[in-house]
Structure 1
């Protein structure tokens, strides 16, 4: 047995001794022993028989994390930790100040193993819920922490090592959440701890350059998206989604595609809309008045009469939207933040004329700002997204921003040429095929 294996075996033996006798075994670090005592006092099960609870349903989680302050630095975490985690067989995670996992990404196999111990998005990995672990213990101590194999209080995590560092609100000093790397033996090394510490510091520096509105209120609770509460209206999330998420007070509703189109048409109008105008906004074909009235009646049953008015049809409270926020950031020249918040086209499957027109307009605005800025990082993010992957202009712009002689520049230029060729050739092939088909019939 080598030294590493002996250390792992010794830690597991120490854990078994503590679980059965509550006596501290020699060779256990002080911060780990202290954490084990807190876990035992909190009645966490050391055998791993009670997995960490899941806080939200998927729709609620998506709404919560989209508006969380750490959402704006997620691309930074992905750049610093995500690619390496995927390549090395690990996962990286971001949790809120309560230890609830907001994002868990990385190697597919590692993700599957993590799921078996309930290390998944929405699960709460605080010490109180999951025992000694790097994210939970880092939040408990307020500093970077590394936990290896048998140091975990729950035996279900003994195959893992993890390193985590808290991220602070630069305006108030309060903890916003924690960033974590979890995986095998290479996570139980000083470079892994240094990596998460550096990622947390970089995130805090980026947050410091954002608008100087405290991300946490005086009561210590998170402010939604940095807004100054209260906001007595509704919020809509519709970018990159087939259905709108509508937040009204503390309730989140997931609207059907048709109800989503109606709500967006009303939000885009910004004022009361008569039925005949709304029908045109919703369909290129004639919509009978009786059909529209029935759809609005069903929507009113979902939203309530205090939110949806009639004669004319209107949303009766102020509305803030994710696509409106993107437009505002672009108008202020904050392209990087706008692209971070641009989660994809507006209701991409909708064919409602009002939605289609705004979707095209917003996408053109974002694309134009990214291509015109000459920022290689933003251009790379654009072409790596589903909506920009086949954009020859973006690939060509990326090639121009990269250093001469760079293999990445050559690859980007080649991709641009291939897409240009495909754009020119494919329609011709389709036309020739149609002619042949007609000649045979």
Structure 2
């Protein structure tokens, strides 16, 4: 049999039996119901099958079932089964979204052919949706997670793969690397993108109010609670909860968070009734939580619940070739934010930016870009000692790579302009780019 169910609804036993036998003989998968409400419980936006329903039924009739089904998914194929006097009604229903109708008594072959056509349509609809989601996720991730270095390419691939799942995620990275940016990209590329993204800075929540903020409370739960209030977890229903700086949570709150993640329920303060949660949890930390758990500073069981998937955001030091292009992008964004023309960035500035260390990572680089867009001196000073490599040769190679990237950026990848500005031959520049894994296509379309 196929794995594409046919929801068949009719309140008459013999008609359900006949339909089941007819469809099963054709290797189709009927799921029969005597009432509309039971069938409606199976309808979902990405349900792979179709609906065949009689119009005249006690309680919820077929037209109401169709209306509710199309509210869930306007492209859901609904086939109506009509009596002799309902043909005009069925025709009107097709204008309202029905896929087709069958008039009783119908030939078994007519039922089969109509069902097969509807299943083909449903299959094509779902395939197109999946393709649109893939393209959309790629666009969202590429626009938010920029950089052509190998660590950033791997990061985008990882986020793209995780976004398609419902797994909870732990994001780790130093201050300023862009953990929130990665979390938002993951949310936007997921099936939850149309629902809330609730950012909770755990370090900023008052200790005496953190439980109320997260889990909500009933009226009278504590002095000043004059009315019931949703917590942030409930507010995020259907969406994503981002727990930033989760390492700052106290152990008692960690225990309650563990319960919420394990059971996907919360209980408001002052209540005994659990509230079901439909959320995805993304946690972020600048600390090594495994080491913190080993020291007893963070609950190990909570860590194991959170790190179903772990994403590590690289420091700028690990992707130095991205710095010139990233600085250029941040200057453009800053100019737009301050409603100023985008200033030209001299090659010497990009070279200095590329050579400098940025312990504050992207956040520090963004501040420098803001100052440049505002026309203020950067005062970059000499590049601090101590590069990513451990030997002099490694440090020199990393420095050379960043200088070449800085020269390629303002010239849009043009090799001629770049080797002339660096005082190299075309062959020497090409060999150095090959050595460092740089491609002119990553900097523009210049020849």
TM > 0.5 between the two?
no
Larger Rg: 2
TM-score by length of 2: 0.30
TM-score by length of 1: 0.30
